């Protein structure tokens, strides 16, 4: 029972931290991952390895998730660049705030 309570406490704490600072952390770490992935491609003279491609895709997903979380919390998009991907027909269904 103690282990279950401890797990529940960790989940609640992670949820509070994610809601409080998650959008900033996701956006910053995501853009740094994209920069690192693109930098790896440039260093290897244009050869995209599976790690660089994965880093770029995961970085973009984190950046978009950070903007989604910000929009869900505050009811507005943080920037025009953060709103732009959510205007796509497939992603507009998932947007927490209507996109114009």
Distance of CA 6 to the CA centre of its chain: 27
- How many Å apart are CA 18 and CA 94, to the nearest integer? 19
- The full DSSP string for 51-100 is HHHHHHHHHHHHHHHHHHHHHHHHSS-S-HHHHGGGGSHHHHTT-SS---
Residue 43 placed within a domain:
yes
Tell me the pLDDT of the chain (100 aa) as tens digits.
778 888 888 888 888 887 888 888 889 989 999 999 998 888 887 777 788 889 999 999 999 999 999 999 898 888 899 899 999 988 888 889 888 7
Total domains in the fold of the chain = 1
Domain with 33 in it:
22-92
Residue 86 placed within a domain:
yes
Model pTM score:
0.78
Residue 28 placed within a domain:
yes
Per-residue exposure over 70-83, b if at least 16 CB sit within 10 Å of its own CB, e if not = bbeeeeebbeeebb
């Amino acid at each position: 029972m103690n282990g279950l309570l401890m797990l529940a406490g960790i989940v609640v704490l992670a949820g509070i931290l994610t809601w409080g600072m998650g959008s900033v952390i996701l956006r910053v770490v995501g853009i740094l991952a994209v920069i690192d992935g693109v930098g790896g491609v440039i260093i290897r003279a244009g050869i995209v390895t599976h790690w660089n491609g994965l880093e770029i895709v995961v970085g973009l997903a984190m950046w978009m998730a950070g903007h989604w979380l910000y929009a869900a919390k505050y009811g507005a998009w943080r920037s025009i660049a953060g709103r732009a991907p959510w205007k796509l027909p497939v992603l507009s269904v998932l947007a927490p705030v209507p996109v114009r």
